[in-house]
Amino acid sequence: MPAIQLRELCGTRAGDKGDISNIALFAYSAEGYEAIREEVTAERVKAHYGDLVQGEVIRYEAPNLLALNFVMYGALGGGGPRSLRSDNLGKSMGGALLRMEIDVDDAVHRSAPRRRPHVTFVVPPPLAE
Amino acid sequence: MDDASRRSVTLAGGQGMYGDDVPSVSRLLDERIDYLCLEALAELTVSILAKDRGRDESLGYTKDLGQYLSLALPAVADRGLRVITNAGGVNPVAAGRLAVEVARTQGLSGLKIATVVGDDLTAQIDSLDRELGLINVDDGRRWRDHVDDLVFANAYLGARPIVDALEQGADVVITGRVADPCLFLAPLVHEFGWAWDDYDRLACGIAVGHLSECGGQSTGGNFSGDWWTIEQPWNWAYPIVECDADGSAVLRKAAGVGGRVDFDTVRHQLLYEVHDPAAYLTPDVVADFTSIRLEEVDQDRVRISGATGRTATPTYKALAATALGWAAESRVAVSWPDAHAKAQAIAQVFRKRVAIAGLTVDAWHEEYWGVNALHGSTVPLKDDDDAPEVMLRVAWRCRDRRTAERIGRQMPPIGLSGPAWGVNGTGKGMIGSASQHLELWPILIDKGHVDAGVRVQVETV
């Protein structure tokens, strides 16, 4: 089974409550959801974050959203108002999870969207006074 | 079906945080909205407001409230728009006075401005502890064993006092710490007459609130999908939700703004700051978001339905904060070759010099920007010493402010006398001012103990 990075299969958003960070993974397809549900366990996520996450990791499933939600304790250097980290609210913590590689079926590997940014914003000129 | 239950009610989430974009509210006021809800508080925000109040007792609300009200009050007076906000922070009474002042300045009369108080537990937390034995729910520590130097303590109230205010005819409702989604649940309960034990509908209202409370985060902002395809990302979109009495709703955005409303942008917000999605705890209901259906019914319109709920817990969550110390930081940049190694050497020399100077530090933190500053040990360190440049950020926390601010002065001499060459300051980042750090205490308090102190005051301008 080929390996693939989670960034190819899902999006993410991170939230904070005190020293708890929650990371939601949103699969881009039903097949992708089954793949992450199978492979991205709480244990693997805990190991992935290493010393960034001091406490336990709990996983919840939201199949209606094709999503997994990881609740990670002791994850924000003590929490927003006391963390010495630049990212004291853990806004970037979801991105860190997208580095993880998992094994998937050939079909999932082939159909992964592999989106990459192509920035074409055209900023309008300032309005005339 | 009576008339009331056929009507739909339109809410808008015009603010997602303290410091959000005020002028964007104008785009919402151009739409046919019934309620403008302004969510101004986060854990960190309450800390900031408590520091403001510590300096000046007339402060403690979010300072941009006056600007929001200046834009919104004409619509309140002209066509019956209502405004609900928790911008009162740790001083809703002062925020209420500000609202009265804004209305008078604009020459408006007849407006009813309500303030909700009773969330502030600062004065009684020690007596509550003696009675109830308060525990930090995150780590199990007992309040009385650790606490001194309380900065604030607030309970997260629910929708009920806001509904009380609306039923007294309030046009503007200003609260302190009310749970964010309850700012949106309250007008739905008021308009549709939902019962407090109609848990499925209350859960639908909470879902609407949760999707609206963070402004642009449900309409294409802070979006990890194909973010580069979102149109006019400088022309902020804020959520507008058309709600029906059965609990279903359609989330959309204003005409002529950027952003996007689809399954992907909306689901991103649905799990934001949620723990168990089948048990989202709020003061009014425990909501199950795993039964929700999100359907793209048209371009930039997502229908939300099917949330289910069950009886709320007997406690309110409260958040207390105690003073922990003062933190500051220093940043320097170093160039290739060996940028990471040089940055690590500078950090060690800096810490050694601080020790020699006899300055006591409670906690240190080092980050190497360009290597792994944000993602730490999740980043594989291949060829890290080939980085073209690395920025070192050293941060520290001390017991007192003066020590925290003196420490940064150990950094500049390293540029001439330290072991590594090619050290650059980063603007004003080499010696920074200190900021206060707070320790948060999430605690649970039986509702009766808090409700006894909740008051709604309505003033007619």
- The answer to whether A96 contacts B376, with C-beta atoms less than 8 Å apart, is yes
Closest residue in A to B44 (Cα–Cα): A81
Task: Give domain status of residue B461, yes or no.
Answer: no
Total domains present in chain B: 2
pLDDT of residue B144: 81
For residue B124, tell me if it sits in a domain.
no
Task: Give phi and psi for A47, each to the nearest 5.
Answer: -65, -40
Residue B428 is predicted with a pLDDT of 79
- Interface size A-B, in CB pairs within 8 Å, comes to 163
Query: If you measure CA to CA, which chain A residue comes closest to B48?
Result: A81
Domain-located, residue A115: no
CATH of the domain at B365: 3.30.70
- Determine the Cα–Cα distance for residues B431 and B213; give it in Å rounded to an integer: 37
- What ipTM does the predicted assembly reach? 0.95
Task: Name the minimum distance, in Å, from the CA of B348 to any CA of chain A.
Answer: 17
Q: Which residues of A touch B270 (CB under 8 A)?
A: 62, 65
Would residue A125 count as lying in a domain? Answer: no
* DSSP letters spanning B380-395: --SSGGG-SEEEEEEE
User: In the predicted model, is pLDDT for residue B313 greater than 50?
Assistant: yes
Nearest Cβ partner of B376 from A51, A78, A80? A51
Q: Is B378 on the interface with A (CB under 8 A)?
A: yes
Q: Phi then psi for B213, rounded to 5 degrees?
A: -70, -20
| pTM to 2 decimal places | 0.95
Return all residues near B235 (Cβ < 8 A) that are at least 6 apart: B256, B257, B258, B259
Same-domain pairing of B237 and B281: yes
In 3-state terms, what secondary structure has residue A106?
helix
Q: Does residue B300 sit in the same domain as residue B372? A: no
Residue A109 lies in a domain: no
Residue B163's domain comprises 3-119+156-313
> Quick one: average pLDDT of B51-79?
96
* B52 and B195 belong to one structural domain: yes
* Residue numbers of A between 80 and 99 with CB closer than 8 Å to B: 80-82, 84-89, 91-92, 94-97, 99
Whether the pLDDT of residue B2 is over 70: the answer is no
Structural domain contains residue A110: no
The pLDDT-based confidence of A127 (bands split at 50, 70, 90) is low
Taking CB atoms and an 8 Å cutoff, what residues of chain A touch B374? 86-87, 92, 95-96
Q: What is the pLDDT of residue B1?
A: 42
| B281 and B342 fall within a common domain | no
pLDDT digits (tens, 9 = 90+) for B161-199: 999 999 999 999 999 999 999 999 999 999 999 999 999
B142 belongs to a structural domain: no
The proportion of chain A whose per-residue pLDDT surpasses 90, expressed as a percent, equals 87
CATH number, domain with residue A85: 3.30.70
Which of A19, A71, A85 faces B275 most closely, judged by CB atoms?
A71
Looking at the complex, report in whole angstroms how far the Cα of residue A106 sits from the nearest Cα belonging to chain B. 23
Q: Which of B179, B183, B185 is nearest to B201 (CA)?
A: B185
Amino acid at B234: W
The structural domain count of chain A equals 1
Q: Please check whether residue A51 touches B, CB under 8 A.
A: yes
Give B3's pLDDT tier (boundaries 50, 70, 90): low
Per the structure, the complete domain to which residue A24 belongs is given by 3-104
Evaluate whether residue A112 is within a structural domain. Answer: no
Q: What is the pLDDT of residue A121?
A: 76
